[in-house]
Amino acid sequence: MNVVLLGPPGVGKGTQGVFITSEPGWVRIVTGDLLRDSVTSGSKLGLEAEAYMTSGQLVPDALIVALVRDHLVHLELQGSLVFDGFPRTAGQASELTEMLNLLGKRVDSVVVLQAEEQDLVERISGRRSCPTCKSVYNIHTSPPEKSGFCDVEGSALIHRTDDNPETVLSRLQVYRSETEPVVHYYQELGSKVCLIDGSKSVDEVRTNIAQVLGLVTA
């Protein structure tokens, strides 16, 4: 089975993607990880990507697609794949379809996590992280014991500049304009599209995903 996991920023894709691939035989593909790994390795694609990243520009679709294609070619595709946050555009979705067709595979299910805009803004803008141990807190839902300081290290927590409400709203607008058409693409393609309420607890969302994908939960 091959799954595309979609959803707006802050809805919990990463957490649920890790859950899905905790099942034996699953591989999680995250373009952010591919970018970082390619830059670290100094590959040709990595050097191209680094030039855009260091100048603060978005990495072009063509380069993202090339990274995914290169990764798929080197994978032993005997199990199941979950594409976490990719494809982000209808163009990327079309490219992915062609890639998988060449490998005799297809996207079987598309899981779309959904939540209200205000809930997402609160989740993301409330995030605080420890620069030492990387623990993540939320001042609204999971605050540290001592305000502003990590429970583990005692370090002062940091608030990412791109986690402010204005930037979050801009990122949500980009999602609506670029990524929501991906859902329509897969509906027209005939893939199974599953809409999941991402505003529920992590465990509830996990259970719902397991049900629609036929996974076994502990």
The catalytic site residues sit at 13, 88, 127, 160, 171
* 81 DSSP 8-state letter: E
Using the Cα atoms of residue 31, residue 34, residue 40 and residue 44 in order, give the sign of their dihedral: negative
Backbone angles phi, psi at 23, to 5 degrees: -75, 140
In sequence order, what are the beta bridge partners of 29?
83
Long-range contacts made by residues 54-62, C-beta under 8 angstroms, separation at least 24?
59/35, 61/89, 61/91, 61/92, 61/95
What are the C-alpha distances in Å from 124 to residues 14, 114, 172, 175?
14, 15, 11, 15
Q: How far apart are CA 162 and CA 169, in angstroms?
A: 10
State which H helix or E strand residue 68 sits in.
helix 61-74
